[in-house]
């Protein structure tokens, strides 16, 4: 099928680009002698996870227990659930372990450690303590006294096994350029290996030292002391990553196919069906590129950006593209297909149940994805 | 089941509030002698549509053809697809008509009119011409010459029937108070009845004069000349509507149940599992209430807002709640359930496959919803 025969909006995935992106990251991690545990929260799709784990062990990172169950059902057993395990999720995690998941969980509090060691079942939890390397989201500071307290609770319990430490240099998403990313990559590495050393100095096990974000995995200069990296959005990249130089313009694998549904000449805009639900309300790239809006409008066949056209405003099913030159109406008559590059691939993709996989302008496959919790 | 036994995040719907909201709007439209054609784009759910159409004809408004197919399959035949019909959607719309949908479509261009009258099938399209009453999204200005040109193309074709005109006072979402909403309600009414008069003066049929947005349906002073109103978000309301005085604080029917997953005391924040996917990245209420963030944090059992707590920052599965008073950590220990009131109900709900319907703290039902296109 030709791409223009798809209904709109549809979520389009460039097979060649996702293949190249995953191969490059796989090779880079091999070269640095670091295990790759890709974060599947971006694609949430088995075929993409297969590409991303090629040449590596098949280990993955998940962001929800729904992802864990889906990937387990499709043969991925080795997984780290990289969101602090809340007490109310211990039972669901135990069920996954009982079903065969080699599930690793992360915590950053004594309360969560006690919820794990106090769970009534026979399942054995593999636990990493989360370290805050400067991202300021969750995790203990590398020097926090609680690191050892939590580790000792886990290490001393028959239902749990201390695996080590984990961090996420998520503040690399706010870097302005490669130099900024490299500085954060150093912070990420130093924080997590320092925490690992504290565990070892206390006689505690720490076989796993886990780090990673897409920018720091793409541009870090040293991973010495780190055992695995967990980048995620690199499989697709997006305008936000491009705006921060984490990738190049040819690395963007994901776009939304839309249709021009109206010309509003008295206001000066082309209206498309790439609205708030089709694109999401994420405007992260506007931090560096105020004109990015809700996405960059591209030629539907070539994915070449159309100079000056972006989705500036959205309502639920309408995407508004301001027009500065009336010739743009003739370029994009009502009914014309367009593609829109999203700000943040992980968020935009979440509105869709599947990817329409293309090779050039030919639709060659349909890959399902999992949503929800 | 008790609400706190649900997995998190879950989408919670207050049965008493959605019932009251729908009854009030139903009664208000009856009182004003205007047909109610509720926009089901907010709830996308059959049980909610049944409440919303109670005491009226059962007519609905849809925002996607996926909604149209879903509601048709559940006995709702009379529907208006209130997004300009693009040429590539004519065939799918014709299929729905062939399946029994009494589908009305809207257009604002000669190109779209020609796509409809040129479609090869036997299906008869009922068509409304969209009028821009000041919202500036789609639609013709009430005085635009093309109004008559488009109407004549439709009226003259055997495959089409001219029903009249339709407008959406969507700029009422930007009003600051009730007086502002009432001004826009007047603009909406005047624009669409003027366009209707032009059709009638030209000897064209115009049985339907359709208008509506939640604010203008809640607070308009006169609907004379309007035959039907199409409010949508009033079934749930949300922080954005509340911030503009379209509703009161007890009218908010939708919230997200979440869990406190971490305390990050070195940064000064409580971290929850109500992140970007659970809440959406919509921050519409911040226009009037900068502190609304991604949602207002409430007590899980009472839905009473907790003074000073809001989701200020989100990543995919993390919602960050800044803490100004350390006593708030004791108030919300790790594992505590919270509820978060969203900015924009239509967008937040789209991440979920169903509503957990509650009566107080008791989960009394589960209502499915349709997503996608």
Question: What digits encode the pLDDT tens for the residues B116-152?
Answer: 999 999 999 999 999 999 999 999 999 999 999 999 9
Residue A271 in contact with partner chain B when CB distance is under 8 A: yes
Q: Is the model's pLDDT at B259 over the cut of 90?
A: yes
On whether both B206 and B351 belong to a single domain, the answer is no
**DSSP H or E stretch at residue A329:** helix A327-331
Residue B264 in contact with partner chain A when CB distance is under 8 A: yes
pLDDT digit string, tens, across residues B291-322: 999 999 999 999 999 999 999 999 999 999 99
Q: Tell me which chain B residues have a C-beta less than 8 angstroms from the C-beta of A316.
A: 41, 63, 346-347
Task: Check residue A117 and give its pLDDT.
Answer: 97
Inside any domain, residue A309 = yes
On whether both A348 and A320 belong to a single domain, the answer is yes
* Chain A residue nearest residue B112, CA to CA: A334
Q: How many CB atoms lie within 10 A of CB A59?
A: 19
Task: Check residue A266 and give its pLDDT.
Answer: 97
Cα angle value A255/A257/A261 (rounded, 5°): 140
On whether both B150 and B84 belong to a single domain, the answer is yes
Confidence of residue B167 (pLDDT cuts 50, 70, 90): very high
* Chain A residue nearest residue B353, CA to CA: A372
On whether both A200 and A330 belong to a single domain, the answer is no
How far is B154 from B109, CA to CA, in rounded Å? 11
Task: Check residue A176 and give its pLDDT.
Answer: 86
For B149, residues 6+ apart whose C-beta sits below 8 A from its C-beta are B110
Q: Is the model's pLDDT at B234 over the cut of 90?
A: yes
On whether both B226 and B275 belong to a single domain, the answer is no
**DSSP H or E stretch at residue A187:** helix A178-201
Tell me how far CA of residue A125 lies from CA of A89, A180, A268, B33, B76, in angstroms: 12, 37, 59, 64, 50
DSSP letter, residue A123? P
Question: Is the backbone peptide bond immediately before A9 cis, with ω within 30 degrees of 0?
Answer: yes
- Provide the β-strand partners of residue B337: B259
**Partner-chain contact B136 A88, CB within 8 Å:** no
Is B334:B260 a contact under the CB 8 Å cutoff?
A: yes
Q: Tell me which chain B residues have a C-beta less than 8 angstroms from the C-beta of A89.
A: 7, 259
How far is B319 from B310, CA to CA, in rounded Å? 9
- Provide the β-strand partners of residue B194: none
Task: Check residue B21 and give its pLDDT.
Answer: 98
Inside any domain, residue B373 = no
On whether both B289 and B202 belong to a single domain, the answer is no
Confidence of residue B15 (pLDDT cuts 50, 70, 90): very high
* B69 token code pair: 């197919």
On whether both B59 and B199 belong to a single domain, the answer is yes
Inside any domain, residue A240 = no
How far is B371 from B128, CA to CA, in rounded Å? 25
* B130 token code pair: 């969209």
Q: Is the model's pLDDT at A174 over the cut of 90?
A: no
How far is A41 from A53, CA to CA, in rounded Å? 14
**Partner-chain contact A372 B351, CB within 8 Å:** yes
How far is B275 from B127, CA to CA, in rounded Å? 41
Confidence of residue A343 (pLDDT cuts 50, 70, 90): very high
On whether both A263 and A229 belong to a single domain, the answer is no
For B127, residues 6+ apart whose C-beta sits below 8 A from its C-beta are B104, B105, B106, B107, B113, B116, B154, B160, B161, B162, B163
| Per-position b or e across A283-317, b if 16+ CB within 10 A of its CB | bbbbebbeebbbbbbbebeebebbeebbbebbbbb
Residue B84 in contact with partner chain A when CB distance is under 8 A: yes
Q: What is the mean pLDDT of residues B41-61?
A: 98
On whether both B213 and B299 belong to a single domain, the answer is no
**Partner-chain contact B132 A266, CB within 8 Å:** yes
Give the closest-approach CA distance of B142 to chain A in angstroms. 12
* B152 token code pair: 């004549």
Residue B122 in contact with partner chain A when CB distance is under 8 A: no
Confidence of residue A300 (pLDDT cuts 50, 70, 90): very high
How far is B354 from B373, CA to CA, in rounded Å? 17
Tell me how far CA of residue B225 lies from CA of B150, B192, B277, in angstroms: 22, 9, 42
On whether both B69 and B202 belong to a single domain, the answer is yes
Inside any domain, residue B124 = yes
CATH number reported for the structural domain that contains residue A172 in this entry: 3.20.20.10
Inside any domain, residue A242 = no
Task: Check residue A130 and give its pLDDT.
Answer: 98
Residue A240 in contact with partner chain B when CB distance is under 8 A: no
Task: Check residue A113 and give its pLDDT.
Answer: 98
Dihedral sign, CA of B345, B350, B355, B361?
Answer: negative
Q: Is the model's pLDDT at B342 over the cut of 90?
A: yes
Q: How many CB atoms lie within 10 A of CB B134?
A: 19
| Per-position b or e across B117-131, b if 16+ CB within 10 A of its CB | bebeeebebbbbbbb
Is A179:A170 a contact under the CB 8 Å cutoff?
A: no
How far is B271 from B274, CA to CA, in rounded Å? 9
Inside any domain, residue B242 = no
Cα angle value B315/B240/B60 (rounded, 5°): 105
Task: Check residue A26 and give its pLDDT.
Answer: 98
Residue A8 in contact with partner chain B when CB distance is under 8 A: yes
Give the closest-approach CA distance of A15 to chain B in angstroms. 23
Mean pLDDT score of chain A, rounded to an integer? 97
**Partner-chain contact A273 B144, CB within 8 Å:** no
* B119 token code pair: 């479609």
| Per-position b or e across B31-45, b if 16+ CB within 10 A of its CB | ebebbbbbbbbbbbb
**Partner-chain contact A315 B259, CB within 8 Å:** no
ipTM of this complex prediction, to 2 decimal places: 0.97
- First-to-last alpha carbon distance for chain A, in angstroms, is 33
Long-range contact list for B248-251, CB < 8 A, 24+ apart?
Answer: B250/B17, B251/B17, B251/B20, B251/B21
Confidence of residue B174 (pLDDT cuts 50, 70, 90): confident
| Final residue in a domain of this structure, among A208, A235, A262 | A235
On whether both A92 and A167 belong to a single domain, the answer is yes
Q: Kindly give the residue spans of alpha helices, DSSP state H, lying in chain B.
A: 15-31, 46-53, 65-73, 90-98, 110-117, 146-155, 178-201, 214-219, 239-243, 276-279, 327-331, 345-349
Q: What is the mean pLDDT of residues B351-359?
A: 98
CATH number reported for the structural domain that contains residue B331 in this entry: 2.40.37.20
Q: Tell me which chain B residues have a C-beta less than 8 angstroms from the C-beta of A92.
A: 7
| Final residue in a domain of this structure, among B210, B236, B262 | B236
Task: Check residue A179 and give its pLDDT.
Answer: 95
Confidence of residue A143 (pLDDT cuts 50, 70, 90): very high
pLDDT digit string, tens, across residues B220-232: 999 999 999 999 9
Task: Check residue B239 and give its pLDDT.
Answer: 97
Give the closest-approach CA distance of A202 to chain B in angstroms. 23
Q: What is the extent of the structural domain holding A270?
A: 3-10+248-368
Number of structural domains chain A divides into: 2
Give the relative orientation of helices B65-73 and B46-53 as an angle to the nearest 10 degrees.
80
On whether both A259 and A357 belong to a single domain, the answer is yes
Confidence of residue B176 (pLDDT cuts 50, 70, 90): confident
Inside any domain, residue A241 = no
Q: Is the model's pLDDT at B345 over the cut of 90?
A: yes
For B4, residues 6+ apart whose C-beta sits below 8 A from its C-beta are B300, B301, B337, B361
How far is A323 from A305, CA to CA, in rounded Å? 15
**Partner-chain contact B144 A84, CB within 8 Å:** no
How far is B191 from B188, CA to CA, in rounded Å? 5
Inside any domain, residue A126 = yes
| Final residue in a domain of this structure, among B215, B236, B257 | B236
Q: Which of residues 27-46 of B touch A (CB under 8 A)?
A: 41
Per cent of chain B over pLDDT 90 is: 98
Q: Is the model's pLDDT at A124 over the cut of 90?
A: yes
Task: Check residue B118 and give its pLDDT.
Answer: 96
**Partner-chain contact A334 B8, CB within 8 Å:** no
């Amino acid at each position: 099928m030709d791409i223009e025969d798809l209904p709109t909006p549809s979520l389009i995935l460039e097979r060649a680009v996702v293949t190249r992106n995953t191969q490059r990251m796989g090779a880079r991690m091999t070269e640095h002698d670091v295990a790759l545990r890709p974060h599947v929260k971006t694609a949430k799709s088995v075929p993409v996870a297969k590409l991303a784990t090629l040449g590596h062990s098949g280990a993955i990172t998940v962001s929800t227990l729904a992802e864990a169950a889906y990937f387990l059902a499709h043969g991925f057993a080795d997984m780290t659930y990289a969101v602090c395990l809340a007490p109310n999720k211990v039972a669901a995690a135990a069920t996954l372990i009982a079903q065969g998941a080699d599930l690793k969980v992360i915590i950053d509090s004594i309360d969560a450690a006690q919820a794990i060691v106090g769970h009534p079942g026979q399942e054995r939890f593999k636990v990493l303590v989360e370290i805050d390397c400067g991202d300021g989201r969750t995790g203990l500071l590398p020097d926090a006294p609680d690191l050892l307290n939590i580790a000792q609770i886990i290490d001393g319990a028959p239902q749990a096994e201390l695996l080590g430490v984990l961090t996420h240099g998520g503040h690399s998403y706010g870097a302005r350029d490669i130099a900024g990313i490299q500085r954060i990559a150093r912070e990420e590495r130093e924080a997590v290996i320092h925490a690992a050393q504290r565990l070892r100095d206390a006689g505690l096990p720490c076989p796993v030292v886990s780090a990673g974000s897409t920018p720091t995995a793409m541009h870090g200069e040293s991973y010495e002391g780190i055992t695995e990296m967990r980048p995620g959005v690199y499989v697709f990249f997006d305008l936000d990553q491009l705006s921060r130089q984490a990738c190049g313009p040819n690395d963007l694998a994901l776009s939304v196919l839309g249709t021009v549904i109206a010309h509003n000449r008295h206001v000066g805009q082309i209206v498309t069906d790439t609205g708030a639900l089709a694109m999401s309300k994420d405007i992260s790239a506007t931090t560096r590129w105020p004109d990015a809006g809700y996405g960059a409008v591209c030629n539907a066949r070539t994915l070449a950006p159309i100079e000056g056209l972006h989705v500036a405003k959205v309502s639920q099913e309408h995407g508004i593209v301001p027009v500065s030159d009336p010739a743009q109406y003739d370029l994009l008559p009502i009914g014309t297909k367009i593609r829109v590059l999203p700000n943040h691939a992980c968020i935009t993709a979440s509105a869709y149940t599947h990817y329409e996989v293309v090779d050039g302008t030919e639709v060659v496959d349909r890959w399902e994805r999992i949503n929800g919790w």
